[in-house]
Amino acid sequence: MSKYFLNYLDELESEAIFVLREVWAQFENPVILFSGGKDSILVTHLAHKAFYPARVPFPLLHIDTGHNFPETIEFRDRLASEKGLQLLVGSVQQSIDTGRVAEERGKNATRNILQTTTLLDTIEAQKIDCAIGGGRRDEEKARAKERFFSHRDDFGQWDPKNQRPELWNLFNGKQFEGEHFRAFPISNWTEMDVWNYLLREQIDIPSLYFAHERQVVWRNDSWIPVSDHLKLEPGEAIEIKKIRFRTLGDITITGGIESDADTLEKIVTEVAAMRQTERGNRTDDKRSESAMEDRKREGYF
Amino acid sequence: MELNNNQLLRFTTAGSVDDGKSTLIGRLLYDSKSIFEDQLASIEATSKRKGHEGVDLALFTDGLRDEREQGITIDVAYRYFTTPKRKFIIADTPGHIQYTRNMVTGASTANAAIILIDARHGVIEQTKRHAFIASLLQIPHMIVCINKMDLVDHQEAVFNDIVSQFEVFSSKLDVQDVRFIPISALNGDNVVNRSEQMNWYQGSPLLHTLETLHISSDTNKIDARFAVQTVLRPQREGFLDYRGYAGRIASGIYRVGDAVTVLPSGFTSKIASINSGEEEVSEAFAPMSVSMTLEDDIDISRGDMIVKTNNQPEMHQEFDVMLCWLNDQPARPRAKYSLMQTTNEQKAMIKEVVYQIDINTYARNTENKNLTMNAIARVTIKTTRPFMLDSYRDNRMTGSIILIDETTNETVAAGMVV
Ligand SMILES: Nc1nc2c(ncn2[C@@H]2O[C@H](COP(=O)(O)OP(=O)(O)O)[C@@H](O)[C@H]2O)c(=O)[nH]1
């Protein structure tokens, strides 16, 4: 075989870098949607490669549910200051306080859905014309049809039936006043690819991803971490387990799994052996089979 | 896991409704253990609700809710699976007549096309259409899967007959590598595992074929083309004079010291350095994303192309393309559209419709000048500035264009330079 071919990780990296540079070239005011999770950390890392030796030209936008893992916030602040990135924060708490949204009630109440309004308000207020996300097509059925450049109308909505065709490497980012785009540079990565790449590049990720002892409650088939926001239901008991998280979201609904994987190598081995998609541990997708699609239409990530 | 040298292979699937495309993809994912437990649980629940017996593998590939309800696939959906040999990306596109546009979209980046034929029906109109689009988009490898062999008693004669039917019309097409595999997607024969029912078939099962297709030479490594996406000017200590041209190499190989010409200006220089991320490299090749610096200070911006001085594209303001119309709004004769080629954008118009092609019969029609949704036609394009011309046949990355209607901002057409 000739030496002039890329292995799959290099090809995915090259594709993502191409998308990030297209975003920078085609939009006026793009940002990286930063959740503190591994996918948005990966996107930030790829942006670093895409623009080196110049600085990453995108600010990070964090939509803060107020239901954070403290570790996520520490990590976010450290990354922003190390890489010299501007940090924008849209606060869900503020959206609640100003009456833009109402807090959900009940046992599975989450602030994930409320993020949509805060995000769209921030996009409008900051005149953001492209929000770069760490969404991957393998995550969930509804995402399988996403484009790299995904058009949103002036209500921030996605119309899966009327997407612009996307051919070759030719991305059409043209828009009218009030509309915006989402860009997904790591569309073609799977969870396994992400882990393999994080390992290969030795990328720093929050400690929550590694197995650690934590106070948790068994709920919705996973271990929900104890936090100020968690209200115990009758019959639930706090236990201490060695767990790790596969995604980081709203702390009230993000479940961990029992694990001994405390290094990137061990996580890769464990993920390879695992037969559950990572969103399977987030209760908001379990509500209905079409839950993700409904939220996407409304302008969720 | 040792995956270091594993390549990425992108393929599309085409077949008409009920040929078994969803079942085949479901089978590939299932047998290669790419379906996760929770996804399987949700498919099982849906299968039960719809009154299916057992698991309907086809459900795994049905994406959006409307489609699930209508029971049809309506757009391009991407699926992923990995084997110890390769990573695969499937662009799953529907086979209905009104969705030529989706097939073209899915085919544009594919290394291989799987075309499904129902063994009971043999070659039908859709088969010809799918093969035509695969050849039009120059997908390097075509794999024709003759499915539902279990319904024709796994007979070799049926398979051979369909192969000859296919060869009769495919001889008129520009295809380089065609293979035929008899399968039963439902039972898994010759998909991942070799069939015990069809010992007469000497070739590889589908998955093994996909794992071993020679794809390194699918990208053009001869004509060096590098379209500048953006210019990197780090305003910081140590890099104050740095001017890096960032882009993804479309084709060919670049080395430090190469004599290059910048188009369209025609200025010449030499490559001073090449960076891949933080790492300085001495050579780089397609499809790497890199940044380059040149020895001379030249004015270069987005849309310019850096090529090797001894291998340059021709510059033309009028040229022919095979155009596929993708929009509900028909083409407006002589209207100005925005034309994108690599990172270059300029105004252009369709000067003339030379002929349209009937994708079922491959007949040419020189009378009909109206380009409506799904039309495929040879047209003459006129641009306002010189266009760097590489034929699509030689170069899928620089020989491809899209047209954007600036009154709607929609991508209305895709074209391949003749
Ligand atoms: N007997 C048999 N039936 C098949 C085979 N492949 C698919 N089918 C059936 O054909 C029907 C259509 O299959 P589906 O995968 O939904 O077709 P699609 O419309 O091409 O996606 C379903 O009832 C499948 O179970 C096969 O190899 N043998």
User: A48-62, B41-55, B63-77: which has the minimum mean pLDDT?
Assistant: B63-77
Neighbours of B63 (CB within 10 A): 25
Decide if pLDDT at B294 tops 80: yes
Residue A25: enclosing H or E segment and its boundaries? helix A8-26
Neighbours of B72 (CB within 10 A): 13
Is A79 part of any domain?
yes
- Spacing, Cα B18 to ligand 1 middle (Å): 6
Asked if residue A212 and residue A187 are part of one domain, the reply reads: no
Decide if pLDDT at B70 tops 90: no
Angle (nearest 5°) at CA A65 between A59 and A68: 95
**Burial of B327: CB neighbours in 10 Å, binned 0-12, 13-18, 19+:** buried
What is the ipTM score, two decimals? 0.92
Asked if residue A166 and residue A105 are part of one domain, the reply reads: yes
Q: Does ligand 1 lie within 6 Å of residue B76's CB atom? A: no
Q: Which atom, in ligand 1's list, is nearest to the CA of B116?
A: 20
Residue identified by tokens 């998909």 is B191
**A window 13-42, beta carbon within 8 A of B:** 13-15, 17-18, 21-22, 24-25
| CA separation for the pair A264, A269 (Å, rounded) | 9
- Residues contacting residue A98 through CB under 8 Å, at least 6 positions apart: none
| CA separation for the pair A258, B191 (Å, rounded) | 36
Is A81 part of any domain?
yes
Is residue B395 within 8 A of residue B223, CB to CB? The reply is: yes
Is A199 part of any domain?
no
| CA separation for the pair B309, B301 (Å, rounded) | 18
A46: domain CATH number is: 3.40.50.620
Asked if residue A83 and residue A27 are part of one domain, the reply reads: yes
Structural domains for chain B: 8-218 (3.40.50.300), 225-308 (2.40.30.10), 314-417 (2.40.30.10)
Is A237 part of any domain?
yes
Is residue A116 within 8 A of residue A92, CB to CB? The reply is: no
pLDDT of residue A246: 85
- Report the chain B residue with the minimal C-alpha distance to residue A53: B234
Overall pTM > 0.95: no
Q: Judge: B221–A4 Cβ closer than 8 Å, yes or no.
A: yes
Identity (one letter) of the amino acid at B203?
A: G
- Per the structure block, which two tokens stand in for B168? 């009769």
Q: Judge: B217–A2 Cβ closer than 8 Å, yes or no.
A: yes
Asked if residue A269 and residue A168 are part of one domain, the reply reads: no
Show the domain range for A173.
8-193+289-298
Is A1 part of any domain?
no
**Among candidates B37, B108, B242 on the partner chain, residue whose Cβ is nearest the Cβ of A167:** B108
Closest CA to A181 of A42, A70, A26: A26
Residue identified by tokens 């089979």 is A289
Asked if residue A23 and residue A109 are part of one domain, the reply reads: yes
Asked if residue A172 and residue A82 are part of one domain, the reply reads: yes
| CA separation for the pair B165, B130 (Å, rounded) | 15
Decide if pLDDT at A186 tops 50: yes
pLDDT grade for B72, boundaries at 50, 70 and 90: very low
Q: Does ligand 1 lie within 6 Å of residue B413's CB atom? A: no
- Per the structure block, which two tokens stand in for A246? 């596969």
Q: Does ligand 1 lie within 6 Å of residue B188's CB atom? A: no
Average pLDDT over chain A reads 85
Is A258 part of any domain?
yes
Q: Judge: B410–A164 Cβ closer than 8 Å, yes or no.
A: yes
Residue A171: enclosing H or E segment and its boundaries? none
Decide if pLDDT at B191 tops 90: yes
- Residues contacting residue A139 through CB under 8 Å, at least 6 positions apart: A191, A277, A278, A279
B354: distance to nearest CA of chain A, Å?
A: 23
pLDDT (average), residues A229-253: 85
B4 or B77, higher pLDDT: B77
Is A198 part of any domain?
no
pLDDT of residue A289: 45
Is residue A114 within 8 A of residue A103, CB to CB? The reply is: yes
Q: Write the DSSP string, A185-245.
A: TTTT--HHHHHHHHHHHT----GGGS-EEEEEEEETTEEEEP-TT--PPTT---EEEEEEE
Closest CA to A254 of A33, A34, A37, A32: A37
Asked if residue A218 and residue A189 are part of one domain, the reply reads: no
Decide if pLDDT at B30 tops 50: yes
Is residue B144 within 8 A of residue B115, CB to CB? The reply is: yes
Return the percentage of chain B with pLDDT > 90, whole number: 69
Asked if residue A116 and residue A39 are part of one domain, the reply reads: yes
- Report the chain B residue with the minimal C-alpha distance to residue A266: B1
Asked if residue A254 and residue A136 are part of one domain, the reply reads: no
Q: Judge: B78–A188 Cβ closer than 8 Å, yes or no.
A: yes
pLDDT of residue A115: 81
Mutation to test the A interface, candidates B9, B138, B229, B280, most A Cβ within 10 Å = B229
Decide if pLDDT at B63 tops 60: no
How distant, in Å, are the alpha carbons of A152, A295, B28, B153, B197 from that of B150?
46, 42, 18, 5, 9
- Spacing, Cα B206 to ligand 1 middle (Å): 17
| CA separation for the pair B63, A141 (Å, rounded) | 5
Q: Which atom, in ligand 1's list, is nearest to the CA of B147?
A: 27
pLDDT (average), residues A16-20: 98
Neighbours of A274 (CB within 10 A): 18
Decide if pLDDT at A152 tops 60: yes
pLDDT (average), residues A228-239: 85
B375 or B73, higher pLDDT: B375
Residue nearest to atom 28 of ligand 1 (CA): B148
3-state SS, residue A64: strand
| CA separation for the pair A62, A249 (Å, rounded) | 12
Q: Does ligand 1 lie within 6 Å of residue B184's CB atom? A: yes
Residue A154 backbone dihedrals phi, psi, to 5 degrees: -75, 0
Q: Up-side HSE of residue B98: CA atoms within 13 Å toward CB?
A: 5
Q: Write the DSSP string, B244-290.
A: EEEEEEEESEEETT-EEEEETT--EEEEEEEEETTEEESEEETT-EE
How many folded domains does chain A comprise? Answer: 2
Neighbours of A188 (CB within 10 A): 24
Q: Write the DSSP string, B80-97.
A: EEE-SSEEEEEEE---SG
User: B97-101, B221-225, B297-301, B406-410: which has the minimum mean pLDDT?
Assistant: B97-101
Average pLDDT over chain B reads 89
Decide if pLDDT at A51 tops 60: yes
Asked if residue A232 and residue A188 are part of one domain, the reply reads: no
Residues of chain B neighbouring A138 (CB-CB closer than 8 A): 79-80
**Cross-strand pairs, B356:** B365, B377
Is A181 part of any domain?
yes
**Cross-strand pairs, B274:** B281, B292
Residue A117: enclosing H or E segment and its boundaries? helix A115-125
Mutation to test the A interface, candidates B65, B102, B339, B401, most A Cβ within 10 Å = B65
Cα-trace Rg, chain A: 19
How many contiguous H segments (helices) and E segments (strands) does chain A have? 9, 10
How many contiguous H segments (helices) and E segments (strands) does chain B have? 7, 23
How distant, in Å, are the alpha carbons of A13, A14, B86 from that of A10?
5, 6, 13
pLDDT (average), residues A170-190: 93
Asked if residue A227 and residue A99 are part of one domain, the reply reads: no
Asked if residue A214 and residue A171 are part of one domain, the reply reads: no
pLDDT (average), residues A114-135: 89
pLDDT (average), residues B334-345: 95
pLDDT digits (tens, 9 = 90+) for B388-407: 999 999 999 999 999 999 99
Q: Does ligand 1 lie within 6 Å of residue B186's CB atom? A: yes
| CA separation for the pair B212, B210 (Å, rounded) | 6
Q: Write the DSSP string, B17-64.
A: TTSSHHHHHHHHHHHTT-S-HHHHHHHHHHHHHTT-SS--GGGGG--S
